Structures are given as C-alpha cells and as structure tokens.
Amino acid sequence: MNDPRPHITIQARLEFLPPVLCFVEELARVLGFEKQERLDLRLALEETLGNVIKHGFADDPSGIYDLWCEPLATGLAVIVREKGMPFDPEDIPEYDPAGLSLEREVKGLGTFLTRKAVDEVVFENLGREGREIRLTKHLASKHVAGLAPGAAASAAAKARTEEAGAGFSEYSVRRLRPEDALEVSRCVYKTYGYTYEDFAYRPESIVELNRRGEMISKVAVADNGAFLGHCALKTDHGQRVCAELGVLVVAPEFRGRKVAQRLVSAMVQEAADLGLASVFCRAVLGHEISQKLFLSMGFRPCGILLSVFPREVEFRRLTGVISQKMSSLALWRPIQAPRERVVHPPAAWREWTIRLYKGLGAPFSIAPEPTRAVPCAAETRLRVRKVEILNIAEMDIYSAGPDAARAVAGELRRLRLEGTDAIYAHLDLEDPGSRALAEAMAEMGFIFAGVLPDRINGRDALILQYINNLAVDYEQIRLERAETKALLDYVRSQDQSRDAAET
C-alpha cells in the first residue's frame, strides 16, 4: 500500500532547503497553525536539516534525504530519514546561556532553539537504514495537556575526526573504549556506506559485543585525537581456539599510513596473548586490496567461499559499487607452533586437501582409506547460524552420529525454503566418521570450499558449500596468486558439474 503522507525525496544541498521549508510551512498553514507557530516549526526544521546537510553529507554532495509530513489530531509531525554520517545525539553539548559571547561560537544553541520551537524531537538510530528524526508541533488550540516531553533532540555531532586529522605525526593502536564506538560506525560508513552488517552502525552494539567478549576491538588513534581505523577478533564461533579477524576499516583520509598493517599486527599479538592457536579471515574477491594485505602479513589461503557478501556492496573511494554477491578468500595464520594432525578427507577431495595443507605449512598426514565401516559418534551435534543481512548460513557439525545425513538434509531443506543464498558447512576433518557424512553431503549438492585448521572445537574443519539457485559470475572474481586461481577453477568445475547434474 502506498504511503498517503506528503513526502519529499531531495538532494542534500543547502540551496534546495528553502523550498522544503516553504512546503512544510504551507502545509502547517492549511492545518490551522498560526503564523508564529509556523515560524517556530520552520526554525526547528531549518536547524535540523541544516545539520543533516552540513554534517551528515559534508563529503557527499550527491546524498539524499526523505521527509514526510504526518498530520495529527493535535498538530503535525515532520519525519526526516537520512543515511548520512553516523553521529550520537548525546555528543551534542547542552546550551549554556551564560556562554553567550561575540568572540566565540556558543555550542548547542541550534539544538536549544529546536527544542524550544517544537514540542517533541525524537532521534532513532536505524542501523544500516541510517537515522530518523521526528519533529512534532502541536496546535495551541488542540495541545494535549500534560503531554510528556520527547526524547533528546537529534543533531549532527561535530565531525571530530576530520577536524583533528590534519598535521598529526604519530598514532597508536589500543583497545576500544566506549567513547570510540561512534567513530567506528562513522569509519564503517565512510568505507562501505550502508552496505555492511547492521551491528557496525550501532555504537551501543559494538560496546556490548566487546563487553561480552564476543568481539575484541582495537582502534588506531592519532596523537591529536584523530580516529584512523578499527579491527577486531570475533570469538562467537563457540570455541576459543581459532578466532576470526575482521571489521577492518581505515578512514579514507588516513590511507597510505600503514594503519591496516598495524591494526592486523596488533590483533595477531592479541590472539597470542589470549593463547589462541590460530586466526582466520575472509578477504573480499571483488578487489585485490585486502588479499594483498593479508597475504603480505603471513596469512595463507585455505578456501574459497562463493557468494558470501550482499549485493550492491559499496566500497566508497576504492572500487565503487559491486552489484553481484561477492565471494571471499578464506585465509589462515597460525599463532602457536602448529600441531601434528591426522585428517580423513573423502577420496574425491583428497588431492585438494593435501594441496591446501602443504600451502598452510601445518604438519599433517592423511589417514588411510578404511577397509570396513567406521564407528560413528553416539549422536549428531550441529549448530546452524543464519546471518540475515548476508542471507547466508553456517553449519558447524561437531559430531556425526547415525542420523547425521538426515539431520543435515533437514537443515538444508529448511534453509533452501527460506531462500538462503549460500550454506557453508564445517565438518570435523579429524573425525573418521565425517568422511561418510561428507560423501553423503556431496550427493545433496554440497561442493568443496577448502579446509580451516582449528575451526571445530580446536580440530580441523573440512569446508563444504551449497549455493542455492544463485548464478556466480566467476569472471568478476579477482585473485592475487596462481594457487588461489587454481583452487577457484576447481570450485568452479564442481559448481558447473552440479548444475549439469541437476538439469
């Protein structure tokens, strides 16, 4: 159903502001607002939109915002929705009338005037969808007595990073503090626009994930306070032996200062301090920048995961928008001296398992083919985690019991019906019983993706993937090294073979 409320979508430019203000003011007149009430509403809207345009879209003159007018029984609400630079309304200083001076700017005056001009100002953080600002003005003749004041007004926070960015000589890498979380969100925005995972646009979520230990963040901060970048260890995979290194972002204005390298080095050291055996990461295959970084820092390719990242990912100031779902290169790096392991790959994937282990430098041996049925675990234990924003799922199979194939088939059926683009399964490669399960999963349509040491409760994982009725444009995948190109060719051949078998 179409939204009946008067609505404007307009470019975030100051010269386009007057007609927007006139539109709202004229609508308020039609609804019965007196002249002074209309002027008050215009003032509040001018301050709000001025902040959105000047601060939220300071470096993006092509940005747009939406405005709705919602007539109420007691007056009018004006709703502004924008996807400009993230900010925290709590950062807006309280206006101090005693601070009025001709010599210096009085902070918080615009927000103070806005609060006085309308009855309610409500700010809501919408994560990947940006922010919503709601201004409510009641008619004097219909004002509801005792109406509670609204939440604190929203206004653009001062762009501290840009102002502090010039002229610093040194920067350091340290643990994230709660007050850093907003700058992390801003940095993600400047790097990806609103195409990253939702939690990254919610400073409170970043703080909470760190508090719970599900994410361990470090930030790069200059000696003059400028915020340069962020990186984290994600430890939410149900074990503390191997962690994922991710959420690596560097503010565009500070690229070329080896910020990413220092952040990654700091996180590797953090992993060592935590006693982790290894770390892994996923480099996007829409460009070669992240691949080159991780390969140069001792990470080694261990798999190719098809169609991980969402469509229309925006690499601002790097490659622009990439329209298809991007694949990723899984890379692994040992932290402790790698242990000896005996692995049980299915015969079909034995050759590539050996090739990947040799490239990883992890000591291994291949168990001989069994001459009789291998006893399986007493029960099947698996965990499925859906990542909604990416429309993918991870299936960790900790033990393969007698009903393992049936359990996996049931989960696969459910995920396919939900329209999940891709399912990545991790099987315990050191469990002899996983070999039969992997062969059964191949019959279901799973194909080889790679191996990942230490991924399943500290034991090595065989990675299989299922692509759910999704065409992969292999020509758009960018790879840095010959051995990874050979792996891609192998994965592609399996994908095409599966498609041929299904047609």
CA–CA separation, 414 and 112 (whole Å): 53
What is the per-residue pLDDT across 230-263, written as a single tens digit (0 to 9) for each? 999 998 655 679 999 999 999 988 988 899 999 9
- Tokens (6 digits) for 25: 């003011």
- pLDDT at 168 exceeding the cut of 70: no
Residue 150's pLDDT is 33
Burial, 200: exposed, middle or buried (Cβ in 10 Å; 0-12, 13-18, 19+)? buried
Lowest mean pLDDT, pick from 41-50, 141-150, 251-260, 460-469: 141-150
CATH fold, domain 160-334, is Aminopeptidase (3.40.630)
Q: Are strands 326-334 and 300-309 parallel, antiparallel or unpaired?
A: antiparallel
CA–CA separation, 207 and 42 (whole Å): 37
Query: Backbone dihedral region of 108: left (phi > 0), alpha (psi from -120 to 50 degrees) or beta?
Result: left
Q: Where are the domains of the chain?
A: 7-138, 160-334, 344-502
CATH architecture of the domain with residue range 344-502: 3-Layer(aba) Sandwich (3.40)
- pLDDT at 58 exceeding the cut of 60: yes
Residue 4's pLDDT is 83
From the centroid of its chain, how far is CA 425?
21
Residue 33's pLDDT is 92
The whole-chain average pLDDT of the chain stands at 85
CA–CA separation, 454 and 431 (whole Å): 13
Burial, 44: exposed, middle or buried (Cβ in 10 Å; 0-12, 13-18, 19+)? buried
346 neighbors 442 (Cβ within 8 angstroms): yes
- Tokens (6 digits) for 457: 């409760």
Count the alpha carbons within 13 Å of 494 in the hemisphere toward its beta carbon: 22
Burial, 478: exposed, middle or buried (Cβ in 10 Å; 0-12, 13-18, 19+)? middle
- Tokens (6 digits) for 294: 């991780």
Q: Confidence class of residue 207 from pLDDT cuts 50, 70 and 90?
A: very high
- Element (H or E) spanning 392, and its range? strand 392-399
Residue 102's pLDDT is 46
187 neighbors 85 (Cβ within 8 angstroms): no
CA–CA separation, 276 and 244 (whole Å): 11
CATH fold, domain 7-138, is Heat Shock Protein 90 (3.30.565)
Q: Please tell me if the domain spanning 7-138 has the same topology as the one spanning 160-334.
A: no
